[in-house]
C-alpha cells in the first residue's frame, strides 16, 4: 500500500506526463498537416519517422528535466539522424522540436522549456534505451502509436506510462483525432481526416493507480479541464460494441468475428488504430477490445499497452491476455509471457475469456 506521501509524489508525475503528452501531440499534428497529407509510406524520411523522433525527444526532455534518474523505454533511437546521411531528416525534426511549445509559459517551464540544440535532441532520443524490468522507476513511451492511422488522418495516440517495480502507476494517452466528448458513440471512421474542428476533436486520457481515470481536451495551452470516465454498464454481453485493430497483421479479425458470434454480438466491430481503443472503451464509447494472436511467435511491446492497461482498469474494466492473466510489465521491453489482450467490463470479462478459449482452442 502506497503512503500518502507516495500518492502526493505521483501527482507531480501525472501532471508532467499530461503536459508532456499534450506538447508532443501538438508536434504530431503539425507533422501531419505540414508533411503527411497524401503520404502512405514509412520510409526513413517519412512523416511518421519525423513525428516519432520529434515527439519522443520532447517527452524525454520533460522527463529528464523532472526525473533525471528515471529509466526510459522508448521505441526510437537516433543513429539514423546522426552524420551526413541523417542531416536532412535531423534538421526537419530539430526545426519542429524547437518550435513546439505550450502557450502557457508556466506549464512550459514545468517541462523544462525548449531543447537546447540539435545535438542535445539526439542525445535525448537515445535515452530511451532502458531494457525495462521489474525494479525501479521506468517510463514507457510510444511517440506515435498507430503508424497507418496517423498517415491516413485517422486514429493514433501519443502514449506515456510510468512503471514502478513493474507496476503501471501513471498512464496518459493523447488522441488528437478522437472526439473530446465522452458521450460520442464509437463508429467506424470516427475523427477521420484529422479534423481540427475547434472544440470537437482532440482528447487526453489519463489515470493514476487507485485514483480512477479521466479525460480532458487536448489543447495548445496544456490546460487540464478533467472529467472522470468509467466503463459503460453492460448487463448483456450480446449488446457490446467491440474494437479491434485495423491491420489484420496485428490481430486475428476472423477469430474476433467468431468470438463475437459465440457471444451473440451482432454489431459489426469498430476497427481503429492505436491505444485509442483503450481510451474509447474506458469512457464507455465502446465495450470490448480484442487483440488476438496472429502467430505463435508474436510478442507485444510494453509501450503499446502500459498506459491503456491502467486507464481501462482505473475506469472499472479488466485487462488480461487470452488466458485471463494480467499483463506482466516486469520482464523487459516486451510482454513475453502474455499472448493477446482482452479488455472488457469486469462483469462480462470471464464470459469473453471463455468464448476466446473456445474459438482459439477449436483451431488447435
**Residue 75 annotated as part of some ligand binding site:** yes
The set of cell numbers assigned to 132 is 525495462
The set of cell numbers assigned to 88 is 536532412
Give the contacts of 183 (CB within 8 A, at least 6 positions apart): none
Neighbouring CB atoms inside 10 A of 11's CB total: 12
Q: What is residue 90's three-state secondary structure?
A: helix
Q: Any idea which residue has 467491440 for its cell? A: 242
Neighbouring CB atoms inside 10 A of 75's CB total: 18
Q: Let me know the angle formed at the C-alpha of 198 by 110 and 304, rounded to the nearest 5 degrees.
A: 55
Where is 270: in which H helix or E strand? strand 270-271
Q: DSSP of 45-56, one letter per residue?
A: TSHHHHHHHHHH
| CA 59/CA 278 separation, integer angstroms | 21
> For residue 178, what are the CA distances in angstroms to 17, 65, 187, 197?
19, 30, 11, 11
**Residue 145 annotated as part of some ligand binding site:** yes
Annotated catalytic residue within 28, 92, 100, 147 = 147
Annotated catalytic residue within 49, 52, 182, 321 = 52
Q: Let me know the angle formed at the C-alpha of 114 by 175 and 146, rounded to the nearest 5 degrees.
A: 25
Cα 13–chain centre separation: 17
Active site residue 52: yes
Give the contacts of 277 (CB within 8 A, at least 6 positions apart): 243, 244, 245, 286, 289, 308, 343
Cα 349–chain centre separation: 22
**Residue 144 annotated as part of some ligand binding site:** yes
**Residue 165 annotated as part of some ligand binding site:** no
Active site residue 223: no
Gyration radius (Cα) of the chain, Å: 19
| CA 329/CA 215 separation, integer angstroms | 24
**Residue 167 annotated as part of some ligand binding site:** no
Nearest CA among 241, 232, 244 for reference residue 183 = 232
> For residue 136, what are the CA distances in angstroms to 66, 165, 166, 311, 328?
16, 5, 8, 21, 15
| Binding annotation for Mg(2+) | 75, 142, 144-145, 304
User: Which residues are annotated as catalytic?
Assistant: 52, 147
| Binding annotation | 75, 142, 144-145, 304
Amino acid at each position: 500500500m502506497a503512503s500518502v506521501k507516495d500518492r502526493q509524489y505521483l501527482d507531480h508525475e501525472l501532471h508532467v506526463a499530461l503536459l508532456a503528452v499534450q506538447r508532443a501531440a501538438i508536434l504530431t499534428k503539425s507533422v501531419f498537416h505540414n508533411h503527411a497529407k497524401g503520404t502512405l509510406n514509412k520510409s526513413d524520411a517519412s512523416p511518421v519517422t519525423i513525428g516519432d523522433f520529434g515527439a519522443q525527444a520532447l517527452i524525454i526532455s520533460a522527463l529528464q528535466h523532472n526525473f533525471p534518474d528515471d529509466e526510459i523505454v522508448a521505441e526510437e533511437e537516433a543513429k539514423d539522424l546522426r552524420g551526413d546521411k541523417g542531416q536532412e531528416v535531423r534538421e526537419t525534426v530539430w526545426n519542429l522540436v524547437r518550435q513546439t511549445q505550450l502557450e502557457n509559459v508556466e506549464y512550459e517551464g514545468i517541462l523544462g522549456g525548449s531543447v537546447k540544440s540539435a545535438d542535445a535532441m539526439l542525445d535525448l532520443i537515445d535515452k530511451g534505451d532502458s531494457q525495462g524490468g521489474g525494479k525501479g522507476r521506468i517510463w514507457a513511451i510510444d511517440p506515435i502509436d498507430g503508424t497507418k492511422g496517423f498517415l491516413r488522418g485517422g486514429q493514433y495516440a501519443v502514449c506515456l506510462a510510468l512503471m514502478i517495480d513493474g507496476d503501471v502507476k501513471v498512464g496518459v494517452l493523447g488522441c488528437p483525432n478522437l472526439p473530446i466528448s465522452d458521450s460520442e458513440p464509437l463508429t467506424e471512421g470516427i475523427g477521420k481526416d484529422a479534423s481540427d474542428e475547434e472544440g470537437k476533436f482532440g482528447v487526453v486520457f489519463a489515470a493514476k493507480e487507485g485514483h480512477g481515470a479521466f479525460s480532458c481536451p487536448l489543447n495548445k495551452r496544456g490546460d487540464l479541464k478533467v472529467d472522470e470516465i468509467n466503463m459503460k454498464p453492460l448487463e448483456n454481453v450480446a449488446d457490446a460494441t467491440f474494437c479491434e485493430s485495423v491491420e489484420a497483421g496485428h490481430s486475428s479479425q476472423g477469430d474476433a468475428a467468431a468470438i463475437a458470434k459465440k457471444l451473440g454480438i451482432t454489431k459489426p466491430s469498430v476497427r481503429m488504430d492505436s491505444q485509442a481503443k483503450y481510451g474509447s472503451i474506458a469512457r464507455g464509447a465502446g465495450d470490448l477490445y480484442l487483440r488476438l494472436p496472429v502467430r505463435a511467435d508474436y510478442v507485444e511491446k510494453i509501450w503499446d499497452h502500459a498506459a491503456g492497461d491502467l486507464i481501462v482498469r482505473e475506469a472499472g474494466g479488466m485487462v488480461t491476455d487470452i488466458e485471463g492473466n494480467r499483463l506482466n510489465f516486469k520482464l523487459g521491453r516486451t510482454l513475453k509471457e502474455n499472448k493477446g489482450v482482452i479488455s472488457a467490463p469486469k462483469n462480462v470479462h470471464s464470459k469473453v475469456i471463455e468464448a476466446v478459449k473456445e474459438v482459439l482452442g477449436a483451431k488447435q
